[in-house]
A and B are shown apart, each in its own frame.
Chain A
Amino acid sequence: MKEKKAMIGISIFLCLVFICSLLFLICMYREKGGGNAYACIYQDGILVKTVSLEKEDTFLIEGKNGAYNKISVKNGSIGVTEASCPDFLCGRMGYISKGPIPITCLPNRLVIEIEGEREAGEADGVVY
């Protein structure tokens, strides 16, 4: 009887160890797998903002000497709607949703890149 109790105890303990390790592993691998698409915004080579493409949003990224880019997120895509740069090439690129070609603003040294779910997402690099 005593041994049976011990057995049940050990079994419960084992089950707990098993469940915990399983949860632990799931957490670790999920973090690696990413999730929904999001955009990374770099200014002067530094990541300044990460934004989900799931939620509509409009915000301003300000740079040196009054430089700015107004960025909008809508329908799962992201684009520049207004900017201080003279050529407005960043805005002319329209909205992007999948990459691999990012939106760049040369005068303001701004790059908007899509991360997460995309066709080329598995790749180490994209030649274009």
Chain B
Amino acid sequence: MWMKKQKVLLAVVLFLLVFLIFFLSWKKSEEQTKIYKSADVLMGTNFYGTVYGGKEDVLPELAEQLRRLETEQLSWREETSEIGKLNSVSGQEAGENISADTFGYLKEILEIAKRSNGALDPTIGNISRLWDFGGADEGLPSQEEINALLEKRGYEKLIIDENSIFLPEGMSLDLGAVGKGIGADRAAQFIQSQEGIEGAVIALGGTIALIGSRPDRKPWNLAITNPRGKEGEILGVLKLSGEYFISTSGDYEKFFMVGQKRYHHILNPKTGYPAESGLISVTVVCDSGLKSDGLSTACFVLGLKQGMELLEEYGSEGIFVDEEKNVYITEGLKSLFDLKDLSYKIVE
């Protein structure tokens, strides 16, 4: 009798084992969405792309599109780009050869400039070229040099109508503060137009686009760089489900030291010098790359209080870090951010 019982037991165990194997291999095969990766240098910054799913690797085509966006539209370095052409005809009404896209970008940038009271200013091209952070001529300019160029800036003097743009003579546009964000927007549009892609993460410098979803449907994990950490250290992890654009602006990206003083690349358009708002890093999460990129720069310049107000006006979320290593998080991100470096303190 017990022999029969044992046989039944064995059959059950065998069945369970087979079931387990099938279940685990099914789960594994579900995980095996094809993954395409690329790392490159595009739009003057690091580009990373990870694409989950899709019929073929679309990253080379995306790289080509971003290269064209840079050389044909946004770069002030290229005389033939739309921004290059606008700069070359400063003092005259222009706009005939400007694409609807670029018009749209400029209008949106001007809107952020107005709402931030000039903390983001697309007309500081001459001054950022003088500092040349990360370039061959990087160095501390004299006060006289800066003063001379301060007169040749001012977003309020830039006039954008329906079909025309007027940039006063001698002024120069520089979309450096939002270029990566525009690139991330373009990348998201491109990925969304492709068939069969489940999700993608595209990073261009300090801006990341989260597109679609992870193959396992779990939230995306985004590491935020530790502004005062050693190489590779992170401040914390942000868990986000859905499609978002995230940008960080910090004083640790491009800078040089003169004695004990740090000169970083985020310039206060009003003074022509690196912003000293007490913040060392600002991360912004919102629904567009141009906005997240532009707002993170503007918030960095404005400081904590005004920066928070600006984000509220735009319905965006953010994480601010000040020089005392205090971390301030907007309401919507509080439960999604996990602080890893405990030398920092979250202030409620």
Contact = CB atoms under 8 A, between A and B. Distances in A.
Given A119-B223, A125-B203, A125-B220, 19 more contacts: A7-B3, A24-B21, A44-B40, A45-B63, A47-B37, A100-B225, A102-B46, A104-B46, A109-B40, A109-B41, A119-B233, A124-B201, A124-B214, A125-B48, A125-B50, A125-B246, A127-B207, A127-B247, A128-B225
A68 interface: no
Given A125-B220, A126-B222, A111 B13 contact: no
Contacts of B172: none
A87 interface: yes
A124 B234 CA distance: 13
A25 B26 CA distance: 12
Contacts of A100: 223, 225, 232, 234
B248 interface: yes
- Of A106, A119, A125, most B-chain CB atoms within 10 Å: A125
Contacts of B136: 86-87
Given A3-B3, A45-B60, A97-B232, A128 B41 contact: no
Interface in A91-128: 96-102, 104-106, 109-111, 113-114, 118-120, 122-128
B154 interface: no
A51 interface: no
Contacts of B44: 106
Nearest to A99: B232
Contacts of A14: 10, 13-14, 17
A106 B41 contact: yes
- Of B223, B253, B340, most A-chain CB atoms within 10 Å: B223
Contacts of B283: 127
Range of interface residues on chain A? Answer: 35 or more
B208 interface: yes
Nearest to B207: A127
Nearest to A110: B41
A125 B225 CA distance: 11
B39 interface: yes
Given A45-B63, A122-B221, A127 B208 contact: yes
Main secondary structure of the interface of A (DSSP, over half): mixed
Given A18-B17, A106-B44, A122-B221, A127 B59 contact: no
B6 interface: yes
Interface string A21-36: 1001100100000000
Contact of A126 (B223, B247, B253): B223
A98 B222 contact: no
A40 B46 CA distance: 14
Contacts, number: 129
- Of A25, A44, A109, A120, most B-chain CB atoms within 10 Å: A120
| 6 residue pairs, one from A and one from B, having the closest CB atoms | A98-B232, A45-B40, A128-B225, A123-B223, A120-B223, A42-B39
Contacts of A11: 10
Given A18-B17, A104-B46, A111 B40 contact: yes
A25 B50 CA distance: 26
Contacts of A46: 38
Interface in B89-116: none
B5 interface: no
26 contacts: A44-B40, A45-B59, A45-B63, A96-B232, A97-B232, A99-B231, A100-B223, A100-B232, A102-B39, A105-B41, A119-B234, A120-B234, A122-B221, A123-B222, A123-B223, A124-B201, A124-B210, A124-B220, A125-B201, A125-B203, A125-B208, A126-B203, A126-B223, A126-B234, A127-B225, A128-B250
Contacts of A122: 221, 237
A72 B223 CA distance: 28
- Of B38, B233, B234, B237, most A-chain CB atoms within 10 Å: B234
B224 interface: yes
A67 interface: no
B303 to A, nearest CB: 20
Interface in B176-218: 201, 203, 206-208, 210, 214
Contact of A111 (B20, B41, B225, B340): B41
Interface in B309-342: 340
A123 B21 contact: no
A17 interface: yes
A10 interface: yes
